[in-house]
Protein backbone atom coordinates (compact mmCIF):
# COMPACT_ATOMS: atom_id res chain seq x y z
CA UNK A 1 0.00 0.00 0.00
CA UNK A 2 1.31 3.43 -0.91
CA UNK A 3 2.64 5.75 1.80
CA UNK A 4 0.52 8.46 0.14
CA UNK A 5 -3.18 8.08 0.83
CA UNK A 6 -6.25 9.88 -0.55
CA UNK A 7 -7.87 12.33 1.89
CA UNK A 8 -11.50 11.38 1.41
CA UNK A 9 -12.94 12.93 -1.73
CA UNK A 10 -10.86 16.14 -1.53
CA UNK A 11 -8.48 15.15 -4.34
CA UNK A 12 -5.58 15.67 -1.91
CA UNK A 13 -3.08 12.91 -1.15
CA UNK A 14 -1.29 12.99 2.20
CA UNK A 15 1.47 10.81 3.61
CA UNK A 16 0.34 8.20 6.13
CA UNK A 17 2.35 10.08 8.74
CA UNK A 18 2.15 13.85 8.84
CA UNK A 19 4.54 16.16 10.66
CA UNK A 20 2.97 18.06 13.56
CA UNK A 21 4.50 21.44 14.27
CA UNK A 22 3.49 22.47 17.80
CA UNK A 23 7.13 22.06 18.86
CA UNK A 24 8.31 24.36 16.05
CA UNK A 25 6.97 27.37 17.89
CA UNK A 26 5.58 26.65 21.34
CA UNK A 27 6.85 24.87 24.45
CA UNK A 28 4.45 26.15 27.11
CA UNK A 29 0.97 24.88 27.87
CA UNK A 30 1.62 21.57 26.08
CA UNK A 31 0.95 18.02 27.23
CA UNK A 32 4.14 16.22 26.24
CA UNK A 33 5.85 14.05 28.88
CA UNK A 34 9.23 15.82 28.59
CA UNK A 35 10.22 19.46 28.39
CA UNK A 36 11.91 20.47 25.15
CA UNK A 37 13.72 23.36 23.51
CA UNK A 38 12.23 24.86 20.36
CA UNK A 39 14.61 23.93 17.50
CA UNK A 40 16.65 26.58 15.74
CA UNK A 41 16.42 27.10 11.97
CA UNK A 42 19.25 24.67 11.20
CA UNK A 43 17.62 21.88 13.19
CA UNK A 44 14.25 22.60 11.59
CA UNK A 45 15.70 22.53 8.09
CA UNK A 46 17.32 19.17 8.87
CA UNK A 47 14.01 17.81 10.16
CA UNK A 48 12.08 19.04 7.12
CA UNK A 49 14.68 17.60 4.75
CA UNK A 50 14.57 14.27 6.56
CA UNK A 51 10.77 14.22 6.55
CA UNK A 52 10.74 14.85 2.81
CA UNK A 53 13.37 12.13 2.21
CA UNK A 54 11.25 9.68 4.20
CA UNK A 55 8.24 10.38 1.98
CA UNK A 56 6.34 12.76 4.26
CA UNK A 57 4.51 15.46 2.30
CA UNK A 58 2.14 16.73 4.98
CA UNK A 59 2.62 19.34 7.73
CA UNK A 60 0.00 20.31 10.31
CA UNK A 61 0.20 23.71 11.98
CA UNK A 62 -2.03 26.32 13.64
CA UNK A 63 -2.00 29.95 14.79
CA UNK A 64 -2.07 28.61 18.36
CA UNK A 65 1.34 26.95 17.85
CA UNK A 66 3.41 30.03 18.64
CA UNK A 67 5.36 31.18 15.57
CA UNK A 68 5.13 27.78 13.86
CA UNK A 69 3.31 29.16 10.79
CA UNK A 70 5.88 31.91 10.21
CA UNK A 71 8.79 29.50 10.54
CA UNK A 72 7.25 27.00 8.14
CA UNK A 73 6.57 29.77 5.63
CA UNK A 74 10.14 31.00 5.84
CA UNK A 75 11.89 27.62 5.78
CA UNK A 76 9.86 25.43 3.42
CA UNK A 77 11.34 25.17 -0.04
CA UNK A 78 9.26 23.87 -2.90
CA UNK A 79 5.85 24.78 -1.47
CA UNK A 80 4.09 22.69 -4.12
CA UNK A 81 5.80 19.55 -2.76
CA UNK A 82 4.03 19.94 0.59
CA UNK A 83 0.44 19.70 1.78
CA UNK A 84 -0.08 22.21 4.60
CA UNK A 85 -2.92 22.10 7.09
CA UNK A 86 -3.61 25.01 9.42
CA UNK A 87 -6.47 26.02 11.68
CA UNK A 88 -8.77 28.84 12.78
CA UNK A 89 -10.50 29.63 16.06
CA UNK A 90 -7.82 29.25 18.73
CA UNK A 91 -5.24 31.86 19.68
CA UNK A 92 -2.51 31.28 22.27
CA UNK A 93 -1.33 34.53 23.85
CA UNK A 94 0.64 35.10 27.08
CA UNK A 95 0.47 31.44 28.00
CA UNK A 96 -3.30 31.08 27.57
CA UNK A 97 -5.67 29.95 24.85
CA UNK A 98 -8.71 31.91 23.83
CA UNK A 99 -11.21 31.19 21.08
CA UNK A 100 -13.03 33.26 18.47
CA UNK A 101 -15.24 31.62 15.84
CA UNK A 102 -16.80 34.81 14.44
CA UNK A 103 -16.88 35.46 10.70
CA UNK A 104 -14.58 38.45 11.12
CA UNK A 105 -11.93 36.56 13.06
CA UNK A 106 -12.16 33.50 10.79
CA UNK A 107 -11.49 35.62 7.70
CA UNK A 108 -8.69 37.50 9.48
CA UNK A 109 -7.09 34.24 10.61
CA UNK A 110 -7.10 32.71 7.13
CA UNK A 111 -5.62 35.85 5.57
CA UNK A 112 -2.95 35.96 8.30
CA UNK A 113 -2.07 32.30 7.73
CA UNK A 114 -1.68 32.92 4.00
CA UNK A 115 0.86 35.65 4.76
CA UNK A 116 2.67 33.70 7.47
CA UNK A 117 2.93 30.57 5.36
CA UNK A 118 4.05 32.61 2.35
CA UNK A 119 1.43 31.11 0.05
CA UNK A 120 -1.57 32.17 -2.00
CA UNK A 121 -3.72 29.18 -1.02
CA UNK A 122 -4.16 26.82 1.93
CA UNK A 123 -4.55 23.10 1.29
CA UNK A 124 -6.50 22.39 4.47
CA UNK A 125 -8.08 24.62 7.12
CA UNK A 126 -9.53 23.02 10.25
CA UNK A 127 -11.66 24.65 12.93
CA UNK A 128 -9.68 24.40 16.18
CA UNK A 129 -12.46 23.37 18.56
CA UNK A 130 -12.70 24.54 22.16
CA UNK A 131 -14.68 21.37 22.97
CA UNK A 132 -18.13 22.62 21.99
CA UNK A 133 -17.98 21.13 18.52
CA UNK A 134 -21.69 21.19 17.73
CA UNK A 135 -22.21 24.72 19.01
CA UNK A 136 -19.36 26.01 16.84
CA UNK A 137 -20.66 24.25 13.73
CA UNK A 138 -24.32 25.16 14.19
CA UNK A 139 -24.34 28.50 16.01
CA UNK A 140 -21.23 30.37 14.84
CA UNK A 141 -20.42 31.76 11.39
CA UNK A 142 -17.07 29.96 11.25
CA UNK A 143 -17.90 27.09 8.89
CA UNK A 144 -20.01 29.25 6.56
CA UNK A 145 -17.15 31.78 6.35
CA UNK A 146 -14.64 29.03 5.57
CA UNK A 147 -16.90 27.67 2.83
CA UNK A 148 -17.04 31.11 1.19
CA UNK A 149 -13.24 31.31 1.33
CA UNK A 150 -13.09 27.81 -0.15
CA UNK A 151 -15.38 28.88 -3.00
CA UNK A 152 -13.08 31.83 -3.67
CA UNK A 153 -10.11 29.48 -4.12
CA UNK A 154 -8.17 30.36 -0.96
CA UNK A 155 -8.82 26.94 0.67
CA UNK A 156 -8.80 23.53 -1.02
CA UNK A 157 -10.45 21.51 1.75
CA UNK A 158 -11.89 22.27 5.19
CA UNK A 159 -12.97 20.53 8.34
CA UNK A 160 -12.68 20.48 12.10
CA UNK A 161 -10.29 19.25 14.76
CA UNK A 162 -12.93 17.76 17.02
CA UNK A 163 -13.17 16.81 20.67
CA UNK A 164 -16.45 14.87 20.78
CA UNK A 165 -17.93 11.98 18.81
CA UNK A 166 -21.20 13.84 18.17
CA UNK A 167 -19.20 16.83 16.95
CA UNK A 168 -17.06 14.59 14.76
CA UNK A 169 -20.13 13.06 13.14
CA UNK A 170 -21.60 16.50 12.48
CA UNK A 171 -18.31 17.78 11.07
CA UNK A 172 -18.11 14.76 8.78
CA UNK A 173 -21.59 15.57 7.47
CA UNK A 174 -20.97 19.28 6.96
CA UNK A 175 -17.32 19.44 5.89
CA UNK A 176 -14.61 17.55 3.99
CA UNK A 177 -12.31 16.40 6.81
CA UNK A 178 -12.38 15.48 10.48
CA UNK A 179 -9.32 15.44 12.71
CA UNK A 180 -9.96 13.23 15.72
CA UNK A 181 -8.36 11.28 18.54
CA UNK A 182 -7.59 7.65 17.80
CA UNK A 183 -5.18 5.73 20.02
CA UNK A 184 -4.89 2.73 22.33
CA UNK A 185 -7.04 4.42 24.97
CA UNK A 186 -9.60 6.31 22.88
CA UNK A 187 -11.07 5.57 19.46
CA UNK A 188 -13.70 7.85 17.95
CA UNK A 189 -14.85 4.82 15.94
CA UNK A 190 -18.33 6.01 15.00
CA UNK A 191 -16.81 8.98 13.17
CA UNK A 192 -14.27 6.80 11.36
CA UNK A 193 -17.03 4.43 10.26
CA UNK A 194 -19.20 7.30 8.99
CA UNK A 195 -16.24 8.78 7.12
CA UNK A 196 -15.54 5.47 5.41
CA UNK A 197 -19.16 5.14 4.32
CA UNK A 198 -19.29 8.70 2.97
CA UNK A 199 -15.72 9.10 1.67
CA UNK A 200 -14.74 11.85 4.09
CA UNK A 201 -11.14 12.51 5.09
CA UNK A 202 -9.91 11.46 8.53
CA UNK A 203 -6.75 12.78 10.19
CA UNK A 204 -5.61 11.41 13.54
CA UNK A 205 -4.24 13.48 16.41
CA UNK A 206 -2.83 12.09 19.65
CA UNK A 207 -2.21 8.73 17.97
CA UNK A 208 0.79 8.20 20.25
CA UNK A 209 -0.98 9.91 23.18
CA UNK A 210 1.09 13.11 22.91
CA UNK A 211 4.33 11.18 23.21
CA UNK A 212 3.37 9.14 26.25
CA UNK A 213 3.33 5.92 24.22
CA UNK A 214 6.93 6.61 23.14
CA UNK A 215 7.93 6.53 26.79
CA UNK A 216 6.51 3.03 27.09
CA UNK A 217 8.64 1.63 24.27
CA UNK A 218 8.65 0.58 20.64
CA UNK A 219 6.11 -2.23 21.07
CA UNK A 220 3.35 0.21 22.04
CA UNK A 221 4.28 2.52 19.17
CA UNK A 222 3.93 -0.45 16.82
CA UNK A 223 0.64 -1.45 18.43
CA UNK A 224 -0.67 2.09 18.17
CA UNK A 225 0.21 2.45 14.49
CA UNK A 226 -1.14 -1.02 13.72
CA UNK A 227 -4.46 -0.02 15.29
CA UNK A 228 -4.63 3.24 13.36
CA UNK A 229 -3.66 1.83 9.97
CA UNK A 230 -6.10 -1.04 10.34
CA UNK A 231 -8.71 1.62 9.54
CA UNK A 232 -8.76 2.33 5.77
CA UNK A 233 -10.72 5.55 6.32
CA UNK A 234 -7.78 7.08 8.23
CA UNK A 235 -5.59 8.97 5.78
CA UNK A 236 -2.82 10.24 8.04
CA UNK A 237 -1.64 10.32 11.63
CA UNK A 238 0.10 13.46 12.85
CA UNK A 239 3.44 12.91 14.58
CA UNK A 240 4.48 15.94 16.63
CA UNK A 241 8.19 15.26 16.90
CA UNK A 242 11.40 17.24 16.52
CA UNK A 243 13.52 14.14 17.09
CA UNK A 244 14.87 12.81 13.78
CA UNK A 245 15.46 9.31 15.20
CA UNK A 246 11.87 9.07 16.44
CA UNK A 247 10.59 10.29 13.08
CA UNK A 248 12.63 7.75 11.11
CA UNK A 249 11.58 4.93 13.44
CA UNK A 250 7.89 5.83 13.22
CA UNK A 251 8.01 6.04 9.43
CA UNK A 252 9.72 2.64 9.20
CA UNK A 253 7.08 1.05 11.42
CA UNK A 254 4.27 2.67 9.40
CA UNK A 255 5.74 1.59 6.06
CA UNK A 256 6.24 -1.97 7.29
CA UNK A 257 2.63 -2.13 8.48
CA UNK A 258 1.28 -0.69 5.24
CA UNK A 259 3.39 -3.08 3.13
CA UNK A 260 1.78 -5.98 4.97
CA UNK A 261 -1.62 -4.74 3.75
CA UNK A 262 -0.66 -4.95 0.07
As beta bridge partners, residue 128 has 161
Residue 7 lies in a domain: no
Residue 2 pLDDT > 90, yes or no? no
pLDDT for res 62: 97
CATH of the domain at 230: 3.20.20.100
Residue 1 lies in a domain: no
CA angle 234-135-141, nearest 5°?
95
222 or 122: whose pLDDT is higher?
Answer: 122
| Structural domain count, the chain | 1
Mean pLDDT over residues 188-197, rounded?
97
Cα gap 177→199, rounded to integer Å:
10
Model confidence at 181, pLDDT cuts 50, 70, 90, reads very high
- Residue range 134-176, pLDDT digits in tens: 999 999 999 999 999 999 999 999 999 999 999 999 999 999 9
Residue 8 lies in a domain: no
Task: Tell me which DSSP letter residue 232 carries.
Answer: T
Can you say whether residue 37 is alpha, beta or left, with left for phi > 0 and alpha for psi between -120 and 50 degrees?
beta
Highest mean pLDDT among 91-95, 178-182, 239-243: 178-182
Residue 64 lies in a domain: yes
Residue 237 lies in a domain: yes
Cα gap 149→130, rounded to integer Å:
22
pLDDT for res 217: 52
Residue 119 lies in a domain: yes
79 or 78: whose pLDDT is higher?
Answer: 79
Cα gap 230→118, rounded to integer Å:
36
**E strand or H helix that includes residue 21:** none
Mean pLDDT over residues 27-51, rounded?
85
Range of the domain at 249: 14-260
pLDDT for res 77: 67
pLDDT for res 219: 72
Q: Which of 122, 134, 120 is nearest to 163 (CA)?
A: 134
Residue 225 lies in a domain: yes
Task: Tell me which DSSP letter residue 161 carries.
Answer: E
- Strands 122-128 and 13-15, by their bridges, are unpaired
pLDDT for res 54: 96
pLDDT for res 262: 64
- Residue range 208-221, pLDDT digits in tens: 986 556 555 557 88
Task: State the greatest distance between any 2 C-alpha atoms of the chain, in Å, as a whole number.
Answer: 48
pLDDT for res 211: 59
**DSSP alpha helices (H): ranges in 30-162?**
41-53, 68-75, 103-116, 133-139, 142-151
Whether residue 146 contacts residue 140, with contact meaning beta carbons closer than 8 Å, is answered with: no
Can you say whether residue 157 is alpha, beta or left, with left for phi > 0 and alpha for psi between -120 and 50 degrees?
beta
**82-99 residues labelled b (16+ CB within 10 A) or e (exposed):** bbbbbbbbbbbeeeeeeb
Model confidence at 37, pLDDT cuts 50, 70, 90, reads confident
**E strand or H helix that includes residue 14:** strand 13-15
Interaxial angle between packed helices 165-174 and 189-198, expressed in degrees from 0 to 180 and rounded to the nearest 10? 10
Q: How far is CA 209 from CA 104, 206, 239, 251, in A?
A: 34, 5, 10, 17
Residue 137 lies in a domain: yes
Model confidence at 95, pLDDT cuts 50, 70, 90, reads confident
Interaxial angle between packed helices 244-260 and 218-229, expressed in degrees from 0 to 180 and rounded to the nearest 10? 50
Amino acid sequence: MSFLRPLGSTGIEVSALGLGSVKFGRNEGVKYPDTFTIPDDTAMLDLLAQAKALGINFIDTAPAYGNSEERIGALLSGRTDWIISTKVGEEFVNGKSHFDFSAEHTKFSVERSLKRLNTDYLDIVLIHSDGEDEKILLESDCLETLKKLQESGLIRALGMSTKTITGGLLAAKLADIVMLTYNLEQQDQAVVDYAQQHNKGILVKKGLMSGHVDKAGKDLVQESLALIFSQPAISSMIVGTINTEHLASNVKIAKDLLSQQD
